[in-house]
Structure formats: structure tokens, C-alpha cells
């Protein structure tokens, strides 16, 4: 019931949005739909949290062994909540940004939301794949039609990249499907497959590349900074706030428990790739002069840490990933909102051309400061608890021999994050004003309240993370149980 609504509301509203007339109507319509989705999502967490409301299954492609099976488990709850919460924030924050053909724009945005929800809810591999693509296609149109000069070529690169990934994933899924006893795509049957390790490895890479491109993990990240730079802000927020979580989510739900032996065998390789990516992205971020690219590279570093924590396969690390997926989503959206305000007012994103904004825009400065501190995971902010749990998990991992190395290397990137974030703040907000920033005015009401709301969320989760950890703990334990490699080790 609840999961079906979460998919249907944005889907139908999105289709309807194509037929709305003026920009204003389309905007209100999209906001209304997204608020309604948020309401359903919250109801699912509170009043309707009885399991019978949270699962839905009906036959679909019976002859293929696939069914329309959706379910809200702990991880699904968190990510659906993130998706549901982000949309009103994004829509309100870009309320005054004009879009040509606004009805199409908001229609595609809502369709993307439907796809995202579906990805997080699907309990059937084929359905998962369907939604995975459904989320991608509207984004292709969003990025190609609304954005910077080079948007068409850049989006094309992004699309081909992710499409190759998802097709490889499709091969992996079909292969796994042929290995299930009764030829079925149901997740439970996937969890019961016991392939020999060598076969698992092939399939592991087929699936992992798809997720790695989406996250993105080094060396599959090259589409990301370009795409974030060229795309319009609302889409960038969806891409970086929610869409990258598809990759993280995919690994946790569809990779680790399905192919435990391969995840164990290749875990160190993947972690090493992620660590290289983290350090590399952080170093580039330090030298970055473009605000958008800086945030993009910072995102690669943050996602890399999640990747390492997942493959550490500890409860603490996994819980850290769960809460951090949510945190990263809202933090990065807040950062984009700030960057958008700056670009709209000054017509530039170059750090070197800005300066002294704190004097002119005190409210923005304070709010940004808090978001930035959350970005570098200071205590009391939401990211602190997430990163702490992840580090704890990596350090305590029994599954890898290199836990200390990983932790030290990942720790370095925290310091690097502090350098580039604080440096950016220093150069943009402090120092002397110049001719570009001399006439700055402070932020609009809608942006102020949105940022305040995000900041409030940052503090609430920072002080009381248990609210989210409680939701996810059951899922985490289930996944770790499925991912347990002891049976394989005994076999040897």
C-alpha cells in the first residue's frame, strides 16, 4: 500500500504535469505532489508501519518468474524518506529559477522521483532493473535540455557510461536468475543462490561496475564532475543528493548478500579503489577554483568512504553507511543551494573572483558555515555520527587484513576535506569584497527558510541519530547475516 503510493504519486503526477499549462501551475503541481509523497513516506514511518502496509506483491511477468514486488524495509525507509524530503527542498530552493517549458521540466523531475522510489523499494531483480532505467531516462532529458553550454555532450557521456553499467548489471541479473532453483527474480531466491567463488567473481564485477559508475568510485568517476558542472541546479541536486545513493544501495542490497564470497575476495580491491579515489578527489578539490566542481569532487570523496565501510562488513560500519546516505543527501543539497545563490547573484562560480560575502550576506554565511562543518563531520552535526560509525566499522573489521591502512588513508581525506572546505569558505566569504561582490544582498526568504530547515535537520540527526539507526538496524543485521562468508570458508 504505502510503497505503491510512493511510486504511483510521483509517476502519475509526473505524467499529468506534462499537460499543465503555465510555469506557475506546473511548479505548484510538482510541489503539491512531492509534499503528498513526503506525507505518505512519513505515514509509512509512523502510523502505517505495520508490515502489512509496507509490502505489496502482485503477479506481473509470471512466465519469467518476475513479480511486481515492493517492500519498505529499514534501508528502503531511510532512502525513500531522503527522496521524499529532498524533493520539496529542491523545488522550494529553486522556486525562483526560471525553466523553459516548465511543465516538461517538472514532469521529468517527478518521473525521476518515481524511478528512484522504485529502485529503493523493488524486491524483484527485474523490477529493480526496470526502475533503475526509469530513473535514468528522465534525467537524460533533464540534463540535456536545461543546463550549461556543453550539456548535450556531457550528458551523453554520462548516459552512455551509466547505460553500459546497467546493461552489464542486466547480464549479471539474468545469469543469477538462471542459477536460481525455480528460475525466479525474487530477492529471497537470489539470496539463496550458492555459486562457487570463481563464478561469483565474474558476476560480482558485472554488477559492481554498474553500481560503481553510479556512485561513482574511482576510476569510473570521470562523468561526474562534468555532469554536475553542466547540469541545472535542481537536477544536480537530484543527481548528487539521491541518485548516487542508488549505487550504494545497490551494493548493499543486491551485491553483498547475493555474492558474499566474491565480495569477500574482491573487497580489498574495491576498498583500495575507493581509497585512491577519495585521496585523489580530495586533492583535486583543494586545487579547484570552480565551486560546482569542488562540491562534485568532495562528493566523490564522501561516497568513497561509504564504499570502504560497506566492504568492511561490520554492523557499526553498515549503520554508519545507512545514516550517512541520508546525511550526505541533505548536506550536499544544502551546499548546492548555496552555490546556486552565489552563481545567480554574481554570475560566476569562480572562487578567485569572489570574496567578503560574510559582510554582505550574514545569514547565508552562518547557514553555510554550519553546512560546511557538517560536510567535514564536526561533532554535533549529522555527519559526525555517520563517519564515526563508519571509521569504527572499518577499524573493527575482521574481514580484511588492511583495516588499519584503510582507516589511516581514509582519515587523511577527512583532514583534506577540512582543508578544501574551510579554504573555500575563507576565500569566498571572508577577506575583502571586490567589485563583483560589493553590491551583494542577502538571501531570499524561501532560500533562508529552506536552509534553516536543513540546518535544523543536521542538528537533530547530529544530536539524536538513534532515530535513524533504529530504523535501519534490522536490515543491517539481515544483510550482514546473508553476507556472512563462514559457510564458504568451512567449505575450503
Partner 1 sequence: MNALIISAVFGVIMMFTGIFVKQKPVTRNIAIAGVALLLLVNILEMSGIDFFKVHTAGFMLFDRFALLFNSVAFGSTLIYFILSAPDMEKVGHYYADYFALIFFILCGVVLVASFQSLLILFLGIEIISIPLYILTGSNKRNLISNEASLKYFLMGAFSTGIMLMGITLLYGATGTFDTQFMNIETEGTSALVIAGMLLLFFSMAFKVSAVPFHFWTPDVYDGCPTVFTSFMATVVKSAAFVGFIRLFYDAFGSIHDDWKLVAAIITALTLLVGNITAVFQQSVKRMLAYSSISQAGFMLLGLLALNATSKEGIILYATAYSLATIGIFAILLKMNDHSFESFNGFARQQPLLAGVNVIFLLSLAGIPLTAGFLAKFYMLKATLESGDFLWLVILAVIMAAVSVYYYFRLIQAMYFKEGDGNAIEVSPGFKLMLVIVAACLIVLGVFPNLLLNWLYF
The half-sphere exposure of 479 on its side-chain side, counting CA atoms within 13 A, is 30
Q: Site for partner 1 (CB under 8 A): which residue of 29, 106, 120, 129?
A: 129
What distance in Å separates the CA atoms of residue 393 and residue 312, rounded to the nearest whole number? 7
Task: Give the contact letters, 135-164, x = binds to partner 1 (CB under 8 A), - = no.
Answer: --x---x--xx------x---x--xx--xx
Please state the closest distance from residue 171 (CB atom) to partner 1, in A: 5
CB of 108 to partner 1, least distance (A): 12
Q: Where does this chain touch partner 1 (CB under 8 A) — which range of 19-27, 166-174, 423-431, 442-450?
A: 166-174
Q: Binding partner 1 by CB under 8 A: which of 8, 31, 168, 414?
A: 168
* Residue closer to partner 1, measured from CB, 21 or 62: 62
CB of 147 vs partner 1, minimal distance in Å? 10
- Residue 218 contacts residue 234 (beta carbons within 8 Å): no
Minimum distance, C-beta of residue 136 to partner 1, in the bound complex (Å):
9
Choice between 76 and 165, CB closer to partner 1: 165
3 state SS of 61: strand
Instruction: Give which of 341, 338, 345 is closest to 436, Cα–Cα.
Output: 345
Is 8 an interacting residue with respect to partner 1 (CB under 8 A)?
no
Shortest spacing between CB 144 and partner 1, in angstroms: 5
Q: Which is nearer to partner 1, 99 or 349 (CB)?
A: 99
Site for partner 1 in 189-218 (CB under 8 A): 202, 206
- Chain positions 48 to 107 lying near partner 1, rule: CB under 8 A, are 61-63
The CA-atom distances, in angstroms, between 271 and each of 28, 220, 223, 264 are: 44, 14, 20, 11
Q: Nearer Cβ to partner 1, position 141 or 429?
A: 141
Cα–Cα distance measured from residue 463 to residue 382, given in angstroms and rounded to the nearest whole number: 7
Calpha distance 427→430 (Å, rounded): 6
> In b/e form, how buried is each residue of 429-444, taking b as 16+ CB within 10 angstroms?
beeebeebbeebeebe
- Of the candidates 39, 295, 68, 244, the one whose C-alpha atom is nearest the C-alpha of residue 139 is 244
Cis amide prior to 216 (ω within 30 degrees)? yes
* 3 state DSSP class of 70: strand
**Closest CB to partner 1 among residues 168, 366:** 168
Q: Which is nearer to partner 1, 159 or 249 (CB)?
A: 159
Neighbouring-strand partners of residue 350: 290
Distance of closest approach, residue 129 Cβ to partner 1, in angstroms:
7
Q: Is 174 in the site for partner 1 (CB under 8 A)?
A: yes
| CB of 21 vs partner 1, minimal distance in Å | 14
Q: From the CB of 69, what's the least distance to partner 1, in Å?
A: 15
CB within 8 Å of 476: residues ≥ 6 apart: 74, 75, 315, 318, 319, 322
Q: Determine if 36 is a binding residue for partner 1 (CB under 8 A).
A: no
**CB 60 to partner 1: min, Å:** 8
| Number of residues located near partner 1, criterion CB under 8 A | 27
Q: What is the footprint of partner 1 within residues 264-323 (CB under 8 A)?
A: none
Residues 6+ apart with CB under 8 A from 54: 1, 2, 3, 44, 48, 71, 72, 73
Name the minimum Å distance from CB 175 to partner 1: 5
Contact partners, residue 111, CB within 8 Å, separation at least 6: 10, 11, 14, 15, 134, 138
Figure out which of the listed residues 75, 93, 134, 279 binds partner 1, where binding follows CB under 8 A.
Answer: 134
Nearer to partner 1, 177 or 395 (CB): 177
Which residue, 134 or 308, has its beta carbon nearer to partner 1? Answer: 134
Helix (H, G, I), strand (E, B) or coil at 290: strand
Distance CA 216, CA 247 (A): 8
End-to-end CA distance of the chain: 45
Nearer to partner 1, 151 or 328 (CB): 151
d(CA 395, CA 298): 23
Interface with partner 1 by CB under 8 A: which residues? 61-63, 129-130, 133-134, 137, 141, 144-145, 152, 156, 159-160, 163-164, 167-168, 170-171, 174-175, 177-178, 202, 206
Amino acid at each position: 500500500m504505502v510503497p505503491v503510493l510512493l511510486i504511483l504519486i510521483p509517476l502519475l503526477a509526473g505524467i499529468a504535469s506534462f499537460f499543465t499549462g503555465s510555469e506557475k501551475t506546473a511548479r505548484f503541481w510538482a510541489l503539491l505532489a512531492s509534499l503528498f509523497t513526503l506525507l505518505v513516506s512519513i505515514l509509512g514511518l509512523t502510523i502505517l508501519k505495520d508490515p502489512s502496509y509496507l509490502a505489496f506483491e502482485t503477479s506481473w511477468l509470471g512466465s519469467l518468474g518476475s513479480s511486481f514486488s515492493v517492500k519498505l524495509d529499514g534501508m528502503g525507509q531511510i532512502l525513500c524518506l531522503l527522496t521524499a524530503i529532498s524533493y520539496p527542498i529542491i523545488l522550494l530552493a529553486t522556486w525562483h529559477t526560471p525553466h523553459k517549458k516548465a511543465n516538461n521540466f517538472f514532469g521529468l523531475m517527478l518521473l525521476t522521483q518515481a524511478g528512484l522510489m522504485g529502485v529503493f523499494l523493488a524486491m524483484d531483480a527485474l523490477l529493480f532493473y526496470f526502475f533503475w532505467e526509469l530513473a535514468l531516462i528522465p534525467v537524460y532529458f533533464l540534463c540535456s535540455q536545461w543546463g550549461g553550454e556543453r550539456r548535450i555532450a556531457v550528458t551523453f557521456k554520462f548516459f552512455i557510461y551509466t547505460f553500459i553499467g546497467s546493461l552489464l548489471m542486466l547480464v549479471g541479473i539474468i545469469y543469477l536468475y538462471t542459477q536460481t532453483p525455480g528460475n525466479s527474480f525474487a530477492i529471497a531466491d537470489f539470496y539463496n543462490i550458492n555459486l562457487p567463488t570463481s563464478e561469483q567473481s565474474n558476476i560480482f564485477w558485472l554488477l559492481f561496475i554498474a553500481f560503481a559508475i553510479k556512485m561513482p568510485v574511482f576510476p569510473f568517476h570521470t562523468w561526474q564532475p562534468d555532469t554536475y558542472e553542466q547540469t541545472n541546479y535542481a537536477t544536480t541536486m537530484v543527481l548528487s543528493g539521491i541518485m548516487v545513493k542508488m549505487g550504494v544501495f545497490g551494493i548493499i542490497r543486491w551485491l553483498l548478500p547475493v555474492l558474499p564470497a566474491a565480495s569477500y575476495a574482491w573487497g580489498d580491491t574495491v576498498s583500495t579503489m575507493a581509497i585512491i579515489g577519495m585521496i585523489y578527489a580530495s586533492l583535486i578539490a583543494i586545487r579547484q577554483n570552480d565551486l560546482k566542481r569542488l562540491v562534485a569532487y568532495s562528493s566523490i570523496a564522501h561516497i568513497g568512504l561509504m564504499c570502504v565501510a560497506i566492504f568492511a562488513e561490520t554492523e557499526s560500519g553498515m549503520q554508519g553507511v545507512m545514516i550517512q546516505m541520508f546525511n550526505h543527501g541533505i548536506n550536499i543539497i544544502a551546499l548546492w543551494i548555496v552555490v546556486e545563490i552565489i552563481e545567480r547573484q554574481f554570475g560566476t562560480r569562480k572562487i578567485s573572483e569572489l570574496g567578503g560575502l560574510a559582510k554582505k550576506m550574514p545569514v547565508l554565511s552562518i547557514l553555510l558555515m554550519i553546512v560546511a562543518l557538517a560536510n567535514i563531520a564536526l561533532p554535533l552535526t549529522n555527519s559526525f555520527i555517520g563517519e564515526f560509525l563508519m571509521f569504527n566499522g572499518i577499524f573493527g573489521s575482521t574481514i580484511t587484513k588492511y583495516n588499519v591502512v584503510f582507516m589511516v588513508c581514509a582519515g587523511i581525506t577527512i583532514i583534506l576535506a577540512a582543508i578544501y572546505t574551510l579554504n573555500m569558505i575563507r576565500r569566498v566569504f571572508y577577506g575583502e569584497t571586490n567589485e563583483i561582490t560589493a553590491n551583494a544582498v542577502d538571501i531570499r526568504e524561501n532560500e533562508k527558510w529552506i536552509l534553516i530547515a536543513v540546518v535544523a535537520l543536521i542538528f537533530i540527526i547530529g544530536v539524536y541519530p538513534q532515530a535513524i539507526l533504529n530504523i535501519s538496524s534490522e536490515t543491517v543485521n539481515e544483510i550482514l547475516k546473508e553476507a556472512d562468508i563462514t559457510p564458504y570458508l568451512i567449505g575450503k
